[in-house]
Amino acid sequence: MILGVNVDHVATVRQARLSFEPDPLTAAALAILGGADGITVHLREDRRHIQDRDLRLLREQVHVELNLEMAATEEMIGIAIETGPDLVTIVPEKRAELTTEGGLNMIEQKEHLREAVKKIQAAGIPVSLFINPHVMDVDIAQEIGAEMVEIHTGLYANAKGKHQELEFERVEEAVRFARRNGLLVNAGHGLNYFNVRRIAAIEGLRGLYIGHSIVSRAILVGMERAVREMKALLGRP
């Protein structure tokens, strides 16, 4: 089970003062020492945390999977092709949101995404689509040629009691359906040290992508330890 650590919020703290610290590159190096199998950054249109320079330097330094999260815009597609991350995860992006609020609108965006996937893949970069846990969205992801999907776990993470059970079942069903259709399947968003175990136990999952909770713990106990503790909860090598 791959653990991709999202270091965006290290840059969030740096940008709060337009300073040189803390450095996401150092955070990435420590995350890798702690056992991270991948490093994720989201280069947002408004550059609120990760900057273009961070991405370039990470590409030079990171030898594990570098996953670039991005909106499917011409600008970002150009940057992805120029930088050459190991994986591009296409996410929806709204300026006013605090964080990614949900999966892609696969019905409305289908043709636009098909084109974006084709352009990125033509540069030799595999593409993952961040989708809601709906069977129909999995179907569309496969139809437009993505090799991978990341199932949105935010609703599971935020729900309580019976609702959480229902959301869990949706994630589980989407993972099962995607695997049956030959896609590689990841999951992420809102996962933390308390709710990750059930998701990690889902059969067939390739990996989890986690940011906020790991960076939050890293502030208190250090990045290496925070990653090590998360890896231990995933339970599988």
Active site residue 163: no
Q: Is 130 an interacting residue with respect to ligand PXP (CB under 6 A)?
A: yes
- When CB distances to ligand PXP are compared, the closest residue is 211
Between 83 and 153, whose beta carbon lies closer to ligand PXP? Answer: 153
Q: Is 156 an interacting residue with respect to ligand PXP (CB under 6 A)?
A: no
Q: Is 6 an interacting residue with respect to ligand PXP (CB under 6 A)?
A: yes
State the DSSP string of the chain: -EEEEE-HHHHHHHHHTT-S-S-HHHHHHHHHHTT-SEEEEE--TT-SS--HHHHHHHHHH--SEEEEEE-S-HHHHHHHHHH--SEEEE----TT-SS--S---TTTTHHHHHHHHHHHHHTT--EEEEE-S-HHHHHHHHHTT-SEEEEE-HHHHH--HHHHHHHHHHHHHHHHHHHHTT-EEEEESS--TTTHHHHHTSTT--EEEE-HHHHHHHHHH-HHHHHHHHHHHH---
Site string for ligand PXP, 14-53 (x = CB under 6 A): ----------------------------x-----------
Number of residues that bind ligand PXP (CB under 6 A): 19
The CB-of-34 to ligand PXP minimum distance in angstroms stands at 16
Q: Is 216 an interacting residue with respect to ligand PXP (CB under 6 A)?
A: no
Between 126 and 188, whose beta carbon lies closer to ligand PXP? Answer: 188
Of the candidates 217, 236, 235, the residue with the CA atom closest to the CA atom of residue 27: 217
User: 80, 92 in Cβ contact below 8 A?
Assistant: no
Is residue 81 classed exposed, middle or buried when 0-12, 13-18 and 19+ CB atoms within 10 A define those classes?
middle
Active site residue 49: no
Active site residue 134: no
Q: Which of 9, 69, 150, 152 is catalytic?
A: 69
Give the one residue of 151, 210, 218, 230 binding ligand PXP; rule: CB under 6 A.
Answer: 210
Q: Is 85 an interacting residue with respect to ligand PXP (CB under 6 A)?
A: no
The CB-of-77 to ligand PXP minimum distance in angstroms stands at 17
Q: Is 146 an interacting residue with respect to ligand PXP (CB under 6 A)?
A: no
Q: Which of 42, 93, 150, 167 is catalytic?
A: 42
* Binding footprint of ligand PXP on the chain (CB under 6 A): 6, 8, 42, 69, 89, 91, 99-100, 130, 150, 188-191, 209-213
Active site residues: 42, 69, 189
